[in-house]
Structure 1
Amino acid sequence: MTDMKHAPDTPDVLDAPGALEALYEPDASHTSDASHAPDAFGLVTQDAPDTLDEAPVTDDRDPARILTAMVDHVLGLAGTWTGWDGRPIPADDRIYTPHKAIRRVADHMVDHLAEMEARLVGEETQPDHWHASATTTGSDLAPFTEADLDEARSRLVRLARIWANRLNALTPDQLDRSPGKGWTFRQLAFHLEGSAYYADSVGDLSAAGAPASRQDRTSKP
């Protein structure tokens, strides 16, 4: 996807991906997200779909509504995060925070949107350089305020609207016989539904203590 260049002062926590996670999970062996998420370390893997996990299962739901519903779900949880106590929350082989969850949902949506737009105009998709969820940055650890919640709403609602407008403009043939290499655009939309995982990993923090929704969180996208 978009080739993002990282500035030299990118605030990676403890200067190494996974270092902070090791502090919270000293016995965890940190494995790549790639075994769970086809694009966790960049969409370059989309150019070799035979190496990916199974293609997303689709059904008769409107793919545009899937994206808007996912964002509604994420923002519903984010509305409970302004009282977060600052402690990262372990989930599988990673840790998550409110800012990190919003970052990953937005990056995931941008990643596949760039892929779809490139394929529609016949361009090669470009690998991204997201740090993804393997790294927890200094900004991920910042307090999540009402202003941050407003920013998240503006960012994710607009991204969902862009996705919905684009998907609604496609013909059924374009959705299911999509140009270029990779999953069909319908499959991409169903795959992005799994972005709720990041928010579910933080959970519902409206009650003091453990996040209420963690036990029912979606599988890793």
Structure 2
Amino acid sequence: MTETETSQQTPAQAVTGMVDHTLELAATWLNWDGTLAHVDDRVYTPHKAIRRVADHLIDHLAEMEARLAGEEPQPDHWHASMVTTEADLAPFTQADLDEARSRLGRLARIWANRLDALTAEQLDHSPGEGWTFRELALHLKGSTYYADSVGDLS
């Protein structure tokens, strides 16, 4: 995608595009041989990439909803990328891909529906402390990092 196309994306398209990219790569992870992907100071696997994308979507969705309700967002307590769990090391199967498609697809729709319901004013002058909701969507777009860390295993 060119820089112009990226700048013309709606916030909802930024989030759904990130999920689409993640799931396109995940479709190649059925070939994963158990080799850990060492990126920066972390280790990534297919399961960990899916977990991190889902956690990131949930974390910022909870933040946005709390701010819209006039509440203080609850801090997250994820272990994030620092921890690789036993479950992260499991083979990535067709059933795992199906689950990821359902989970991430539904989260992307929730985000898209919420973002599309906000006015430009709400997107750019969001209540509470932190990034605007437009900036949050663009931040989430960067969650492709997790999937890109595992890469295309075709």
Q: TM-score range by the shorter chain?
A: over 0.9
Where does residue 77 of structure 2 map in the other structure? Answer: 129
Separation (CA, whole Å) in 1 of partners of 2:78 and 2:54: 11
Where does residue 3 of structure 2 map in the other structure? Answer: none
Separation (CA, whole Å) in 2 of partners of 1:61 and 1:136: 33
2:9 to 61, 68, 74: 61
Deviations 1:135-190 (A, max 9, x none): 00000000000000000000000000000000000011000000000000000000
Q: TM-score, structure 2 length as denominator?
A: 0.95
Where does residue 56 of structure 2 map in the other structure? Answer: 108
Cα RMSD, aligned residues only: 1.0
1:128: Cα distance to partner?
1.1
Q: What amino acid sits opposite 2:121 in the alignment? A: D
Separation (CA, whole Å) in 2 of partners of 1:88 and 1:60: 36
Q: What amino acid sits opposite 1:80 in the alignment? A: T
Where does residue 92 of structure 1 map in the other structure? Answer: 40
Separation (CA, whole Å) in 2 of partners of 1:154 and 1:113: 17
Q: Size of the alignment, in residue pairs?
A: 149
Report SS of the residue matched to 1:136: coil
**Identity over the aligned pairs, expressed in percent?**
74
Higher helix share: 2
Report SS of the residue matched to 2:78: coil
Q: Which runs of 5+ in 2 are unaligned?
A: 1-5
Structure number with the bigger relative contact order (C-alpha 8 A, sep ≥ 6) is 2
Q: TM-score, structure 1 length as denominator?
A: 0.66
Separation (CA, whole Å) in 2 of partners of 1:125 and 1:168: 21
Deviations 1:48-91 (A, max 9, x none): xxxxxxxxxx9442110111111110000000001111121101
Separation (CA, whole Å) in 2 of partners of 1:115 and 1:174: 15
1:182 to 108, 130, 145: 130
Larger radius of gyration: 1
Q: Which runs of 5+ in 1 are unaligned?
A: 1-57, 207-221
